[in-house]
Amino acid sequence: MTSFSLPWYAIAGADKGVEVGLPVFGVALLAVVGPTAGRWYADVTSGVPPKHFVRGEWFVGIALLTGVVWVVLYWAIVEKAGASIWWATLIAFAVGYTLRVAALWYGWEEPLASEPAGVYKHDDGRPLLGRKLKGKSQRELRDLRLLVQDGQTQVVIGAEKGAASHG
């Protein structure tokens, strides 16, 4: 759902900034604050980590990119060519939505400093899509209720210790 709503809120924030005459930096800031402030509040009140701080979400970057794309298209299509604002809106939405879904599907992660050796990164509860499963350890696959042995995939049934596994 956030992949769909994120670009719309970014565009709404950028539109409001242009409407009140803010400079480009202010418009870009509103494009980021619009979707991220609401998402932060929803996540915190739901008791989950805000998407801004979850590695691999590209939440703030996609909001900024969508807002900047909308501003450039608004200037080129609406201001210069005199076309409808909907063209700029739909194209910017398509760019933001496509990149957001691609980032989630392919498991793109923001560049971060490397973690010290021996640090175990805990599960954040999100489903693993696409290439995120590649290269997982036996322990990680067991935590995901998947266990690869001898080229066959076994699904581990039950969350308790000693649960039976079926092939």
Tell me how far the alpha carbon of residue 67 is from its chain's centroid.
Answer: 15
Using alpha carbons only, give the angle 84, 4, 42 rounded to the nearest 5 degrees.
120
- Kindly state whether residues 32 and 71 are assigned to the same domain: yes
Q: According to the model, what pLDDT value does residue 37 have?
A: 87
The range of the structural domain enclosing residue 87 comes to 2-106
Q: Is residue 53 a part of any domain in this protein?
A: yes
Distance (Å, whole) CA 70 – CA 35: 15
Q: According to the model, what pLDDT value does residue 125 have?
A: 59
Mean pLDDT confidence for 99-125: 71
Q: What is the pTM of this model?
A: 0.63
- Kindly state whether residues 54 and 97 are assigned to the same domain: yes
Task: Answer whether residue 12 shows pLDDT above 90.
Answer: yes
Between 148 and 113, the more confident residue is: 113
Owner of token pair 């996609």: 62
Task: Answer whether residue 166 shows pLDDT above 60.
Answer: no
Q: Is residue 98 a part of any domain in this protein?
A: yes
- Kindly state whether residues 32 and 72 are assigned to the same domain: yes
Distance (Å, whole) CA 96 – CA 34: 14
Q: According to the model, what pLDDT value does residue 163 have?
A: 42
DSSP 158: -
Mean pLDDT confidence for 137-145: 71
Least confident of 19-23, 84-88, 94-98, 163-167: 163-167
DSSP 75: I
Mean pLDDT confidence for 107-119: 68
- With CA atoms as reference, report the closest residue to 94 among 6, 5, 7: 7
Structural domain count of the chain = 2
- Kindly state whether residues 7 and 76 are assigned to the same domain: yes
Binned at pLDDT 50, 70 and 90, residue 58 comes out as: confident
Around 88, how many Cα atoms within 13 Å sit in the side-chain half-sphere?
24
